[in-house]
Amino acid sequence: MLRGEIRPAKDCGDAELCAMYRLMEEFYDGTDEAVFRRDFAEKDFCLSLYAEDGSLAGFTTQKILAVDVDGRRVEGVFSGDTIIHRKYWGDQTLFKVWADFWFRYAGAKKEFYWFLICKGYKTYRMLPVFFKHFYPDCRRETPSFEKSIMDAYGSFLYPGEYNPFTGVIEYRADKDRLRQGVADIGERELKNRDIAFFAEKNPGYLRGNDLACLARIDRENLRPHAAEFLFS
């Protein structure tokens, strides 16, 4: 059973940052500790997962972000580096802790979004599992306003690398990428329409490219089974 907690990123000590980077190295190629630490320093919160023996089992970093869309201020949370140790794949503690924190946070806002980038299909799959409406989605076209939000945060965070025509962050330099065996897409995976759609939208995922995604954080946007699971 995993235990999870969210706290300000600045409260994470050097020992925990070292443990996070070791976990990144285990599942990603092309990592760079200096880049990892610089990215971490820019985040506002960190959600850490711990095994029963107290060892780090996973984490995700979070940044509160506001972008201008046609003169309208749009707020949300951007998820950065995210990884769960292989032994705990399938465990939903991370999303339950994440949801408890951010859905309460979003409750004080008129509207609040999840700005998400997906390097692998397992991250993308969280969207159709939990949300009624998210983008991009194989079931529907992305509305123009939501597309403008993704373009705004993608261009703000990754100027010169975010491609608004594809919705993909196409990195100019070498980028960390998932190791073989972590989120491979084969014939079995492609039978799932969401995974097949992800592979089509982000054909450079093996090189570490990220697909920009969006979901409104609102309980009304949760699938019934997801709301029951997360908040019962």
pTM above 0.75, yes or no: yes
- Distance (Å, whole) CA 17 – CA 37: 8
CATH number at residue 190: 3.40.630.30
Average pLDDT over residues 60-70: 95
What is the average pLDDT score of the chain? Answer: 91
Give the pLDDT confidence score for residue 222 in this predicted structure. Answer: 96
Does residue 184 carry a pLDDT above 70? Answer: no
Q: How many structural domains does the chain have?
A: 1
Contact yes or no for 56/88 (Cβ under 8 A): no
Please, which residues bridge with residue 67 across strands? 74
Contact yes or no for 158/232 (Cβ under 8 A): no
Give the pLDDT confidence score for residue 26 in this predicted structure. Answer: 84
- Distance (Å, whole) CA 54 – CA 49: 9
Does residue 58 carry a pLDDT above 90? Answer: yes
Give the pLDDT confidence score for residue 51 in this predicted structure. Answer: 94
- Distance (Å, whole) CA 232 – CA 229: 6
Contact yes or no for 100/203 (Cβ under 8 A): no
pLDDT in tens, 93-110: 999 999 999 999 999 999
Closest listed residue to residue 60, CA positions, set 48, 44, 50, 51: 48
User: Is pLDDT larger for residue 111 or for residue 32?
Assistant: 111
pLDDT class of 168 with cuts at 50, 70, 90: very high
Domain containing 107 equals 3-231
Average pLDDT over residues 166-175: 86
At residue 144's C-alpha, the angle toward residues 142 and 147, to 5°, is 65
User: Is pLDDT larger for residue 75 or for residue 232?
Assistant: 75
- In the 8-state DSSP scheme, what is residue 55? -
Ranges assigned E (strand) in 161-209: 162-163, 168-169, 177-178
